Amino acid sequence: MFMLKSMLRWAAVAAIAAVIGIGAWLYYDARERAKLPPGIVSGNGRVESVQVDVAAKYPGRVLRIFAHEGDLVRAGQVLAQMDVAELEAELAAGKAKIAEGNETEAKIKADILSREAAVRYEDQQFIRNRELFSRRYISREEMEQTQTKVDIARTQLDAVKAQLLANERSIEAATADVQNTQAKIVDSTLVSPVTGRVLYRLAEEREVLGAGGKVLTLVNLDDVYMEIFLPSDEAARVDVGSEARIVLDAYPQYAGRARVSFISPEAQFTPKQVETRSERDKLMFRVKLKVPQEKLLPYIEKIKTGVRGVGYVKVDPNAPWPEKLEHPFPPPAAMGIKPAEGAKPEEKPESPKAEEPAAKPSGAEKPTNP
């Protein structure tokens, strides 16, 4: 009995603590929203990215896999190699067939020259015998025999020409097979289509896969964004291309620059990963904040999907950003990151207060639905 009362007491304490925690978060969230100046709205979200599968185009055996889960890979980097022994044998056979066809073609062309000479000779003989027949020096039977020889010579020439055409088509088919096999060999080297991080390793070396069999799943770091949810009165004032800032929970002192790339045309209930209950209970509009690739490149090694934070959006282009949102991420070296080649870290504006009013962009980056 005593133990039961103790368990009930602890359960009650835990429930009260949970209620207090939720209340504190709601209070904190309301306070943070209240601190924002007019013309700026915010929403909770997390860093997300599109997943890309690296798969075998043709059935075969996995020979080598060069990447592991968590590895950062660059676009064009070789990630896996399929076994091409059978394809190389097919390629050798196809090339041999082409070589044989070329030899046959040379012989047929020589035969054609001989047959053409025979046709010319028989034509001359027929013309001569026809003249002799007109003068009654030879019989009709002899003249007709000469005509028959002409017909036979021409038939033989046509047959050899048909052989040449068939051989040419055979060479063309063998060439197409060789090109197809070469393409299969090239496609057997699996390269990364994007700069990203390996999320899953779905196959092992020596494993046999069917066509389309997945080897790796990557997180596309070329397409990083944060999804936030805004109520209708705020979402109605947001435009695609509007300026935005992203503040991550892991680096609350910095604000990354972004743009609104997508606004859902339909209201929806917000998903469970939205932290505040008050937001989940409302019909909200999904808004995607996309980080420009050139801003991501210097920090590519630090980027991880699933990191939570807050997204801020300007609904009034003339509204100034608060001081706390004017601190971009420091240079990569300050965060222990080796700068990527061609990377340009964010630059802090000279004077946030004197910032020129931003004009609405004429176009927006094409959104990518997750």
Any domain includes 10: no
- Indicate whether 177 and 230 sit together in one domain: no
How high is the pLDDT of residue 326?
A: 85
Any domain includes 25: no
**What is the domain count for the chain?**
3
Which pTM was predicted? 0.65
How confident is residue 140, by pLDDT bands cut at 50, 70 and 90?
confident
- Indicate whether 41 and 64 sit together in one domain: no
Over residues 279-294, the pLDDT tens digits come to 555 678 899 999 887 7
How confident is residue 20, by pLDDT bands cut at 50, 70 and 90?
low
- Indicate whether 78 and 90 sit together in one domain: no
Any domain includes 139: yes
- Indicate whether 203 and 280 sit together in one domain: no
- Across the range 317-342, mean pLDDT stands at 75
305 vs 27 pLDDT, higher one: 305
How high is the pLDDT of residue 9?
A: 64
How confident is residue 7, by pLDDT bands cut at 50, 70 and 90?
low
**76: containing domain:** 54-82+189-215
- Indicate whether 69 and 119 sit together in one domain: no
- Indicate whether 195 and 69 sit together in one domain: yes
Over residues 58-97, the pLDDT tens digits come to 999 999 999 999 898 999 999 999 999 999 999 999 999 9
Q: What is the CATH number of the domain that holds 276?
A: 2.40.30.170
Least confident of 27-36, 107-116, 133-142: 27-36
- Indicate whether 131 and 162 sit together in one domain: yes
**Proportion of the chain above pLDDT 90, given as a percent:** 50
How high is the pLDDT of residue 134?
A: 86
Is the C-alpha dihedral spanning 109, 113, 118, 124 positive or negative? positive
